[in-house]
Structure 1
Amino acid sequence: MTTITTSLFLSLVLSCVLQVSSNGDAEILSRVKRSRLSDPDGKLNDWIITGDNRNPCNWTGIKCDSKNRSVTAIDLSGYGLSGGFPYEFCRVRTLVNITLSENNLNGTIDSAPLSLCSRIHVLILNENGFSGKLPEFSPEFRSLRVIELESNLFTGEIPESYGKLTSLRVLNLNGNSLGGIVPAFLGNLTELTRLELAYVRFEPGPIPSTFGSLTKLSYLRLTNSNLVGEIPDSIGNLIPESIGKLKSVYQLELYDNNLSGKLPESIGNLTAMRNFDVSQNNLTGELPEKIASLQLVSFNLNDNFFNGELPRVVALNPNLVEFKIFNNSFTGTLPRSFGKFSGVTEFDVSTNRFSGELPPYLCYMKKLERLISFGNRIKGEIPESYGECDSLNYIRTADNKLSGEVPVKVWELPLTRLELSNNQLQGSIPPSISNARNLSQLEISGNNFSGEIPGRICDLGELRVVDLSRNRFSGSLPSCINRLKNLERVEMQENMLDGEIPSSLSSCSKLTELKLSDNRLRGGIPPKLGELPVLNYLDLSNNQLSGEIPPELLKLKLNQFDVSDNRLSGKIPSGFQQDIFLRSFFGNPDLCAPDMDPIRPCRSKPEPRFVLVISVVCIVALIGALVWLFIKTKPLFQRKPKRTDKVTIFQRVGFTEEDAYPQLTEDNIIGSGGSGLVYRVTLKSGETLAVKKLWGGPGRKPESESVFRSEVEILGRVRHGNIVKLLMCCSGEEFRFLVYEFMENGSLGDVLHSEKEHRAVSTLDWTTRFSIALGAAQGLAYLHHDSVPAIVHRDVKSNNILLDHEMKPRVADFGLAKPLKREDNNSVSHVSPMSCVAGSYGYIAPEYGYTMRVNEKSDVYSFGVVLLELITGKRPNDSSFGENKDIVKYAMESALCYSSPSPGDKAMNQDSPGNFRDLSKLVDPKMELSRGEYEEVEKVLEIALLCTSSFPISRPTMRKVVELLKEKKPLE
């Protein structure tokens, strides 16, 4: 009885103790939430102490020990919380795990208050906004096993205290802007199983040989960490010869660095390794057979300088799933047995020097998904066995020497992309291609395909790109093409197509490029093509088209337009009567236009005398009627704005809205966009204006309203020589328009990228380009640093930098611009989160990939892209960059590849621009640069690469960019 009583008493005491402890933990958690955290989405609304809610184990994000119900972990990942680091969570004495990833927490983490947390085992703070130096961990943190601080804004070197955390098993500092080199003392962390220091951009330095001591390491990621030199032997402990000692390594990622030399053969000792990635480095030499023999699942050597033949043994690996060795200089033939012994899913050997035939057994295991072999010297026919590969969804074998007919079943595969361009293939497209219902890109240009384009191609509703150019296709375009609602680009030039252009093409509302030149097309140009809302490239040249040029085409916002060498007649619509379009009409002798030499001027056809008399009488009578009608009704297209219309003058001008409005006619349209039409207006005084008339009326578009409000609010108060001037705005119920100074040379994008001769191209030498870069930078610096409040443009691109008659730049188009609020410490905060991505494809900063918040550093990134355009003359997403590359990636790789020549090289290349001879491959071939200009180009390239850093904190401010551009000396 006594024993039972004692037991019951102890149970009651323990229950009371646990209850008191639980209540105390609840008080701590609730207090921290109230004082340290902001919970805008109400995710922690249940963190309140009430009569029936006193146990925190039931609260959101709290985990407790199942036996004694004590709080052991707090996981608030992805809850949208803001505030500073909640140190007082650690007053919960049983807490061992703090996970706060994917929130908006910020500020520094100080060592003194952090000492409260010395008992914890796990600290995970990934994807927040913490800044300052990395937190120090005192010797009391002896139980710390996991530190993950990925994707924050930490700076400075890794503290030496990290090398003393001997219990640490995971260290992840990816995506911070740390300094110094990869520290050797991390080799002391012998319990590490995972070490991630990717995208840190250390100072150039080697992989520490001490890493060979990390014998328990199974995952090493040093991607894009500015590693240089050879892979140390200790890494066979890891990768240097010593790297071969790391017997337990399962995954080794060293890609995107500057590692050089040969692969140490000792890597072949890492027999437990299954994932190996040393891509995007400067590694050379042949692939050692011992490494090729490893039983790897993924084998990535791409973007290096490897050469020689592939060891045959690499194809015998039964584990191989992913094999990527593209962008190297491998030679010889591909092992015939590839795929026969393993379920390869991705096979990419593109851009090498392979010869011979495609391996016939690649899909032997029926698992192959991606076959990429473009840019080699592969010959022979496409194996019939590929047609039986139902798993295959992506084929790119362009730029080889393939011949024969494509197996019928290959056309029928569930592909998303089929690229066979620039080979020697023949035959026709079978109607059964309709079975490839997922096909998005069909690119077979530059072959000997013939026959008609089958109508069943219209069953492929996912088609975005169709490139059948430079073949021998005949017959007419399928009239059912209007069913392809996702079409973005159609290239069928240089074939033998005849018939008329289907007017049903107007239903393809996503179409941006239509190239039908060099065929035998006849009939008229369908006026309905003018209804294509985003078409910017229209080439119908060298056909047999007749009739007049439809004025409806003026609705299009065309960067490229060509109807030359046809049988067109009549007057060229006045909107096309510009020098930039002149060559677009050559070879049509029956076309006419005033003042477009050598196009013949239009002349009135003489009438019989009696007809002329009657006509005069009729005209006089008609004029009288019109005058009476005008006085009585004053139709909208002529009358002046109502008195209720609001007119605002922003600059001193010598005209009124009544002078500009009557000239907003179809003949004066020079551009269009989602918010309205742009007109060129010439006043009686001779002054030329640009007038943007926005869509109006009761059904006005929301984006039009937003553009109008943003332009007026921002440009109405901004005054800077490198920002376009808004002169006047007029707003009424029926219309709204904005009046700007006219920029004679159009946009920088047009000047750089127009395939037609532009009148300013001849003057766009490096001196002019540099002047444009500096002026645009000064305009953006004013917006970021001198405007109150500061302004982020959010759509910086070459098409939004306009050029006056002296090629002086003006930053324009503020429809997406937003003011930035300044905090008490005068630092610029982010713009509020966006509901959709703002900006233009190719210019958007990478942080949009994980947050919709932007600040002025997003503009800096976009400006860096513009600098690269000025240097290269290429568009941001030029197809010449290759698979999954944009101008930033292309420039970065090109910059890493060029190096200073040796004295002997200089002697052999005295006519080259010295140390910059390799850089000449990067610059626009239209420029002829002196030695001094090459040095300046190199400096601007380095500035561009700084601006386009992956992490916002690594980018300079626009004020700093201006300083760097103005400095005469090279960047340090």
Structure 2
Amino acid sequence: MTQLLPIVVYVLLSVVAFVSCLNQEGLYLYQLKRSLDDPYSTLSSWNPRDATPCNWYGVTCAGDAFNTTVTELDLSDTNIGGPFPANILCRLPNLLSINFFNNSINQTLPLDISLCRSLRHLDLSQNLLTGPLPATLPLLPNLRYLDLTGNNFSGPIPDSFGTFQNLQVLSLVSNLLEGTIPPSLGNVSSLKMLNLSYNPFFPGRIPPELGNLTNLEVLWLTQCNLVGVIPASLGNLNKLQDLDLALNDLYGSIPSSLTQLTSLTQIELYNNSLSGELPRGMGNLTRLRLLDASMNHLTGKIPDELCSLPLESLNLYENRFEGELPASIADSENLYELRLFGNRLTGRLPENLGKNSPLRWLDVSSNQFWGPIPATLCDNGVLEELLVIYNLFSGEIPASLGTCQSLTRVRLGFNRLSGEVPAGIWGLPHVYLLELVDNSFSGSIARTIAGAGNLSLLILSKNNFSGTIPDEVGWLENLVQFSASDNKFTGSLPDSIVNLGQLGILDFHNNRLSGELPKGIRSWKKLNDLNLANNEIGGTIPDEIGGLSVLNFLDLSSNRFSGKVPHGLQNLKLNQLNLSYNRLTGELPPLLAKDMYRSSFLGNPGLCGDLKGLCDGRGEAKNVGYVWLLRAIFVVATLVFLVGVVWFYFRYKNFQDAKRAIDKSKWTLMSFHKLGFSEDEILNCLDEDNVIGSGSSGKVYKVVLSSGEVVAVKKIWGGVRKEVESGDVEKGRVQDNAFDAEVETLGKIRHKNIVKLWCCCTTRDCKLLVYEYMPNGSLGDLLHSSKGGLLDWPTRYKIAVDAAEGLSYLHHDCVPPIVHRDVKSNNILLDGDFGARVADFGVAKAVETTAKGTKSMSVIAGSCGYIAPEYAYTLRVNEKSDIYSFGVVILELVTGRRPVDPEFGEKDVVKWVCTTLDQKGVDHLIDSRLDSCFKEEICKVFNIGLMCTSPLPINRPSMRRVVKMLQEVGTDNQTKPAKKDGKLSPYYYDDASDHGSVA
């Protein structure tokens, strides 16, 4: 059969040549078209009736009008698929360049590619190639550029790769390569760029032979499982501009030979185990712009000469530097960013810091600096972030900072600062976070705060602030958190404070507030935490407080509230309720008159209820009332009994089946919140009439409790014993593991955007999980149904922000961090106001880290279309996997498309979006059901989704950064330079500088 193939090809080409005037090279390319899958008809212009292929899409020719030849073939990002057609392409005698970037070229790369003798440029990055790297590639004598990034090549790098004659660029990033880096690569003296990053190599050393590559300009060995010391021979790379050895397990000291590399502009050594001092001679690196040696074990002082370099970024956090910061750092005229947090630095900050340099970001948090904050920090008017938390700074805030209009983020907490805050600080127009917590500040909040239009987080707790809260606070329409506990504020809350529609936290406990609560608090639709304990506030508790649907924490204890407890409080789903030690009177609402709420009402002598200790001995009149009540109950009960007998006949069989299935005496209840119901009430409602969903592991029921509250109950059948009987032991174990993961995760976390698990009930063969009920179901079901038009853009944007905040809580505020592993639109549930909750934690994991990175999972978890590329290949789970999945959800919200659609062919929504964006533009991507007036906002959110779905995990922003970017949609805030493949890109955000911040 194989002997007949050339004959068939010859006959085919003869037929085509007979009906056209296409030259020989065109015939070869037409054969290439027929061998490839082309779902988007990109090659439709390849017409056999043309004389030459030189006008075909992607084809470049050289020569004159009488004699042309094909020299370049660029079919990048066209979604073509199929095996790499080396047997056709190598017949083009003058082909110099092949670019198949970002397609679906699959199978293995054939050995006969070595027959393309003229080839200089070969780019097959971001495809689906598998198998070993062809050892015959070095036989291409003219090859200068080889990029195989983002495939599934496996096995070791062949030793023959050390015999390339003219190769200048070798990029094998993000494959599945094993073995170790071969020393023979040191023989390719023509190399200018060597990038082997993000491969699961076996633990191995950096070959000293790489020091022979004297023409090398870029050396990227990020996350290559490198161990041992950095070889001193790298100091021979005189032309090296970029050195990236981050995310490995290198140890020992940084070799002093690196200080001889005067061409270096960027050094990245972060996340290793390097020790010792920074080498002397760093002053030789006059072109250095970025030095990142964070997350190591370095010791000693920062060399003075380093501080005089024109650095744009100096990151030395999470080391063990000791001693003072040299004054010479203030002399640098190019100092752009100074981040030294998480060390043991002491002494004063240089008094002229920022005077001679365009300082934009300063973070010296978590050190032992003392003395005043330099008044010159913003002399150049570009300072954006000032973070000095957890130090020993003293004195007043410099008045000059009050005129620093560029500031966006100010964190001065946990120091020894004192005095009044300059009036200008309160009104800085671009600041979204102002944190002054745990100092000794005095004075009042200035009325200039009216100018802080971007303020989102105002944290003033644990100071000596006094005076009244100005009315101008009510102008801060973006304020989300206002925390001012443990101060000396007086007067009443201003009436204007009810205008804060975005407010989520209002905490003024331990102050001297008086008056009454303002009217109109129903506008606090997003309020989650209200704490006014230990003040002197009086009047009645307004009924409208029961309408704050997301309120989770309510503490009004130790005040002077009077009147009745509002019945509306029964509607709230509170984790904590405390109305103790007030002057409340009257009967408790029925649902609150339970023993679990006893401590919530202590110290209210006039309050009555069926709780021991509340209003005992209410007299005989009440007993007379009970007699009449009992008589009425008897009459009603008789009528109900007669009706019940009839009803019982029709329901008897179903009742008996349910009774056999659920033996209530064997149920064990575990609660995670204060419950207003028992397990019996739940079990009685588990009949088929209440089923609202089902899946492979069980059914979901809607249960309306006697109180009127609605909960959702997931019933999981098939414990291990049951599955043994059905011959499916593994399935039972998986379901048990899912149940345990759900309980373990949701039982200990609390967040307004994480679905609340009320309790679980278990018996031998059945498990129940009781959740809060989400009236609008899942985002996936709603978005992709005929009701998708109900989700206008403001609603979709709100859902994206809510879900991002929930995931950010899991990643950044849980210890250890929790990775959901199955983020998708069907696991984002919507309440009655379309507020989003992240749900279904059956495969969630706490991230376990080792010196070599995150621990691999034994099986892939997730759903088709949402799984991050690296997770599918390496089973290595971390927060970046969730971020990719969330990016897919954003693309769903923008496009209205499912993650996998038959229209996409073999693509998922990510590849479809990228292809359509390049070929047709963004207008062909936005859901037609969305109003065009929101296009600018939609495009900004769309770009965030593209960032989250970057194929390289390092390029994806953290969830904390995603939340910040989503919140900034519609603003003109500048973004910072950022890393891409370990390099600078426009979306860099340094999470480590947040120190667990609510920002």
Q: TM-score range by the shorter chain?
A: 0.5 to 0.7
Query: How far, CA to CA, are the matches of 2:523 and 2:646 in structure 1?
Result: 36
SS in 2 for 1:714: coil
Q: Does 1:680 align with 2:677?
A: yes
Whether the 8 Å CA contact 1:362–1:368 is kept in 2: the answer is: yes
SS in 1 for 2:683: strand
Instruction: State the partner residue of 2:512.
Output: 496
Instruction: State the partner residue of 1:749.
Output: none
Q: Deviations over 1:610-655 (max 9, x none)?
A: xx58x977996899799989999x9xxx998999x9x999985359
Call closer, same or farther: CA 1:456–1:622 in 2, change over 3 Å.
same
Whether the 8 Å CA contact 1:232–1:243 is kept in 2: the answer is: no
Whether the 8 Å CA contact 1:169–1:191 is kept in 2: the answer is: yes
Instruction: State the partner residue of 1:472.
Output: 488
1:308 Cα shift? Answer: 1.7
Equivalence map 1:51-62=2 (5 Å): none
Q: Deviations over 1:55-86 (max 9, x none)?
A: 87777766677986946242534x67777667
Query: How far, CA to CA, are the matches of 1:842 and 1:809 in structure 2?
Result: 31
1:565 Cα shift? Answer: 3.1
Whether the 8 Å CA contact 2:810–2:819 is kept in 1: the answer is: no
SS in 2 for 1:653: helix
SS in 2 for 1:319: coil
Aligned residues: 765
Q: Does 1:450 align with 2:466?
A: yes
Instruction: State the partner residue of 1:506.
Output: 522
Q: Does 1:359 align with 2:371?
A: no
Instruction: State the partner residue of 2:659.
Output: 653
Query: How far, CA to CA, are the matches of 2:50 and 2:433 in structure 1?
Result: 57
Whether the 8 Å CA contact 2:149–2:174 is kept in 1: the answer is: yes
Call closer, same or farther: CA 1:162–1:526 in 2, change over 3 Å.
farther
Whether the 8 Å CA contact 2:697–2:735 is kept in 1: the answer is: no
SS in 1 for 2:465: strand
Call closer, same or farther: CA 1:18–1:712 in 2, change over 3 Å.
same
Instruction: State the partner residue of 2:392.
Output: 377
Query: How far, CA to CA, are the matches of 2:395 and 2:514 in structure 1?
Result: 32
Instruction: State the partner residue of 2:549.
Output: 533
Instruction: State the partner residue of 1:100.
Output: 101
Q: Does 1:554 align with 2:570?
A: yes
Instruction: State the partner residue of 2:275.
Output: 260
Query: How far, CA to CA, are the matches of 2:502 and 2:630 in structure 1?
Result: 50
Given the alignment, which residue of 306, 324, 330 partners 1:315?
330
Instruction: State the partner residue of 1:3.
Output: none
Whether the 8 Å CA contact 1:326–1:348 is kept in 2: the answer is: yes
Instruction: State the partner residue of 1:396.
Output: 411
Q: TM-score, normalised by structure 1?
A: 0.65
Instruction: State the partner residue of 1:138.
Output: 137
Supply the AA of the counterpart residue of 2:746. Answer: S
Instruction: State the partner residue of 1:31.
Output: 34
Supply the AA of the counterpart residue of 1:542. Answer: S
Instruction: State the partner residue of 2:745.
Output: 797
Call closer, same or farther: CA 1:946–1:622 in 2, change over 3 Å.
closer
Gaps of 5+ in 1: 1-15, 660-667, 697-707, 718-725, 744-779, 820-833, 868-887, 898-938, 959-972
1:576 Cα shift? Answer: 4.7
Q: Among the aligned pairs, what percent are the same residue?
A: 32
Equivalence map 1:706-725=2 (5 Å): 711-716=693-698
Equivalence map 1:655-674=2 (5 Å): none
Call closer, same or farther: CA 1:139–1:22 in 2, change over 3 Å.
closer
Supply the AA of the counterpart residue of 1:433. Answer: I
Whether the 8 Å CA contact 1:263–1:287 is kept in 2: the answer is: yes
Call closer, same or farther: CA 1:245–1:562 in 2, change over 3 Å.
same
1:415 Cα shift? Answer: 0.8
Whether the 8 Å CA contact 1:262–1:285 is kept in 2: the answer is: yes
Query: How far, CA to CA, are the matches of 2:285 and 2:200 in structure 1?
Result: 27
SS in 2 for 1:30: helix
Query: How far, CA to CA, are the matches of 2:709 and 2:581 in structure 1?
Result: 40
SS in 2 for 1:331: strand
Instruction: State the partner residue of 1:483.
Output: 499
Q: Which region of structure 1 is more displaced relative to structure 2, 615-624 or 466-475?
A: 615-624
Whether the 8 Å CA contact 2:259–2:281 is kept in 1: the answer is: yes
Whether the 8 Å CA contact 2:538–2:559 is kept in 1: the answer is: yes
Instruction: State the partner residue of 1:112.
Output: 111
Instruction: State the partner residue of 1:689.
Output: 683
Instruction: State the partner residue of 1:293.
Output: 308
Supply the AA of the counterpart residue of 1:357. Answer: P
SS in 1 for 2:23: helix
Supply the AA of the counterpart residue of 1:371. Answer: L
Equivalence map 1:235-254=2 (5 Å): 235-237=234-236, 240-254=255-269
Whether the 8 Å CA contact 1:649–1:728 is kept in 2: the answer is: no
Query: How far, CA to CA, are the matches of 1:309 and 1:18 in structure 2?
Result: 80
Supply the AA of the counterpart residue of 1:471. Answer: N
1:397 Cα shift? Answer: 1.6
Call closer, same or farther: CA 1:499–1:202 in 2, change over 3 Å.
farther
Q: TM-score, normalised by structure 2?
A: 0.63
Call closer, same or farther: CA 1:319–1:627 in 2, change over 3 Å.
same
Query: How far, CA to CA, are the matches of 2:594 and 2:768 in structure 1?
Result: 23
SS in 2 for 1:24: helix
Call closer, same or farther: CA 1:60–1:553 in 2, change over 3 Å.
farther
Q: Does 1:606 align with 2:612?
A: no
Supply the AA of the counterpart residue of 1:283. Answer: L
Instruction: State the partner residue of 2:938.
Output: none
Gaps of 5+ in 2: 1-18, 237-242, 244-253, 718-727, 748-755, 772-776, 782-796, 812-816, 828-837, 862-867, 879-999
Equivalence map 1:615-634=2 (5 Å): none
Call closer, same or farther: CA 1:537–1:944 in 2, change over 3 Å.
farther
Supply the AA of the counterpart residue of 1:100. Answer: F
Query: How far, CA to CA, are the matches of 2:45 and 2:823 in structure 1?
Result: 30
Q: Does 1:333 align with 2:332?
A: no
1:409 Cα shift? Answer: 1.3
Query: How far, CA to CA, are the matches of 1:379 and 1:179 in structure 2?
Result: 54
Whether the 8 Å CA contact 2:21–2:51 is kept in 1: the answer is: no
SS in 1 for 2:694: helix
SS in 2 for 1:27: helix
Q: Deviations over 1:507-563 (max 9, x none)?
A: 232332222222222233333333333332333333223334334333333333333
Q: Deviations over 1:185-224 (max 9, x none)?
A: 5444544444445554655555544444444444444445
Supply the AA of the counterpart residue of 1:689. Answer: L
Q: Deviations over 1:476-513 (max 9, x none)?
A: 22333333222222222222222333453332323322
Call closer, same or farther: CA 1:310–1:497 in 2, change over 3 Å.
same
SS in 1 for 2:472: helix
